[in-house]
Chains A and B, each alone.
Chain A
Amino acid sequence: MHFFVMLKTLFKNFFSKPATVKFPFEPREYPEGSRGQVVIDTSTCIFCGLCQRKCPTAAITVVRAEKRWSIKRMQCISCGACVDACPKDSLKLDTKYYTPDVIKTEDTYNA
């Protein structure tokens, strides 16, 4: 009968540093290639509307006549379908997530 088999692990844990990061006070390191929020470079965008058609949650709205591109931040699921579809490569996925909030915002960018 083995008792207290976990004692060795517990003893080691006394002398090693904690596994958690004190998050809001210390920054978290995001690896490269992480899918966070969508970022647009409006200088290369031609407002064709392909990203709006490919978005599975209908989070993007493009108005060609007024040269306006807007995204509902809380609706976006960071899947990257718009990034793959853009013919001019104006969209990119940043590594940081959109921070939690109490109201649902829509970000608008003009040319």
Chain B
Amino acid sequence: MEGKKRTIIPFGPQHPVLPEPIHLDLVLEDERVVEAIPSIGFIHRGLEKLVEKKDFIEYVYVAERICGICSFIHGMTYCIAVEEIMKLDIPQRAHFLRVIWSELSRIHSHLLWLGLMADAFGFESLFMQSWRLRERILDIIEETTGGRVIFGSSKVGGVRRDISKEKMQEIVRRLKEYEKEIRELTNVFIKDASVKHRLCGVGIVSKDEAYALGAVGPTARGSGIVSDMRKLGYAAYKEIDFEPIIETAGDSYSRCLVRIKELFQSIDIIAQAADKMVDGPIDVKVTGTPNGEFFARSEQPRGEAVYYIKANGTKFLDRVRVRTPTFANIAPLLKILPGASLADVPVLVLTIDPCISCTER
């Protein structure tokens, strides 16, 4: 008999589980979600319009502050794009330093995500334990760059600070010690029955759907698509030996596994980079103004970010356009929400790792 009642429940912008505000109108039929209508714009700060006021060297400070979690990689991608337009040759040591800071950024972002995921299904002590381990990584970052969240160490032409050899070896040694405790923590995510009950079989995306909808990052790699922008070889990644991590099941549990394995892979990449580091200067002098356009791609902890920069020969750029991974992952999110029950919606929204302040600049 026809007559199932439909109700509309607004999810967000304020919700205890969301790190940043996003609005989804969920159309429900008796506890099952039928449709989801997104609406964004709560964090729009008009950063792309600031190119008219800040010249291309000062814009690095704006680009770094687009997002708090993936801030270094935003600054680095902007610098790579401007350097390619101006055809500057960066010293090799600066490339290795950029790799080390990117991987530290990735470790702290994944630990943050693990904590938020545990909070989403109510496991508070696991949340607190993950963030306790993350504090140690932030201490390493503060000792090398000066800031815990906004690194302030990229500039057009290289990097601003150096790390000495003894400090490098100390960092590698400390990361090896932390690795034991991180393994204890991730064991809980992989083995515990209550965690598996919430994550396995929830939010399945098949490989063809994920490719057609344009999923990026761990959302795509959890469904079997082999795609990791670090293989393009920007910065010093062509000298480092690693393979993208793939899982094939396509549900939330496999996305969680991809991120956990990437954590350990990053610790290994830092050890390799510290080994292969060369000596030399850390920056080059920048003269003149850029003229031309370029698309730069890089791998953020959440997926692939694309920076489009168009310059016209004056010191103010014409257009900076940032396409962040969360924007590309909203389409698979709108595909996995129908059919889920209302209690699973926070877990599903967090499984794509939403970073809304990146999405809306």
Contacts and interface: CB of A to CB of B under 8 A. Distances in A.
Contact of A3 (B139, B143, B184, B193): B193
Contacts of A6: 125-126, 129, 188, 192
A79 B61 contact: yes
Contacts of B144: 33
A77 B143 CA distance: 18
A103 interface: no
Given A19-B135, A35-B152, A9 B54 contact: no
Contacts, number: 55
Interface string B134-171: 01000100111011000010000000110000000000
A35 B146 contact: yes
B306 interface: no
Nearest to B144: A33
B5 interface: no
Contacts of A81: 58, 61
Contacts of A65: none
A56 to B, nearest CB: 5
A93 B152 CA distance: 13
A71 to B, nearest CB: 17
B146 A3 contact: no
Interface residues of B, number: 26
Interface in B169-197: 184-185, 187-188, 191-194
B191 A5 contact: yes
Interface in A4-37: 4-6, 8-10, 19, 31-35
Interface string A71-94: 000000111110010000000010
B132 interface: yes
B135 A35 contact: no
A1 interface: yes
A56 B129 contact: no
B193 A1 contact: yes
A2 interface: yes
A32 B54 CA distance: 31
Given A56-B58, A80-B152, A31 B143 contact: yes
Contacts of B62: 56
B193 A77 contact: no
Interface of B: 54, 58, 61-62, 125-126, 129, 132, 135, 139, 142-144, 146-147, 152, 160-161, 184-185, 187-188, 191-194
Given A31-B143, A34-B142, A84-B160, 11 more contacts: A2-B193, A9-B185, A31-B139, A31-B142, A35-B146, A35-B147, A56-B54, A78-B147, A79-B152, A81-B58, A93-B146
Listed from nearest, the 9 A-B pairs whose CB atoms lie closest are A35-B146, A5-B192, A31-B143, A2-B191, A56-B58, A1-B193, A56-B61, A19-B132, A5-B188
